[in-house]
Amino acid sequence: MNHTKEQILARCNEFSKNTLMETLKIEYIDAGEDFLTAKMPVNPSVHQPMGLLHGGASVALAESVGSAASFFFINPKEQEVRGIEISANHLKSIREGYVFGTARIIHKGRSLHLWEIKITDEEGNLVSLCKLTNMVLDRKKSE
């Protein structure tokens, strides 16, 4: 990544406006050479009927942070990122507080990026373990 931590976080939080990430109140909070971290509040707006964090909200956090991380390994003027596969194992339930999604690169190819995203609670306990595959596409040239 050829960007400062502050630039990465500002860019991620800016392009989250008016999206699902804003709806879920996902905020990007940390970044490094091989990782990106975001947090999401756990409250009734992301609960399933039993009052627990909905697995779909966890997956939305994972895909958001993994896709955003891939963005910093491409040339955004010439390329785009598309998530093509995601899997999640939900290991612990949570009712309130925050969860943190940290994406770490496993494979950085020219056309595919593979990420491991660990979602943890405020005490660092593993809530979900996700794997995301992103495809890097060339942008279509304007005529």
Give the active site residues. 63
CA distance 117 to 138: 25
Both tokens of residue 25?
């109140």
CA distance 104 to 115: 6
| Nearest CA-CA partner of 28 in 56, 6, 1 | 6
CA distances in angstroms from 128 to 37, 87, 116, listed in the order given: 14, 10, 11
Both tokens of residue 40?
């999401």
The residues near 37 (Cβ < 8 Å, ≥ 6 apart) are 28, 29, 30, 31, 65, 100, 101, 102, 103
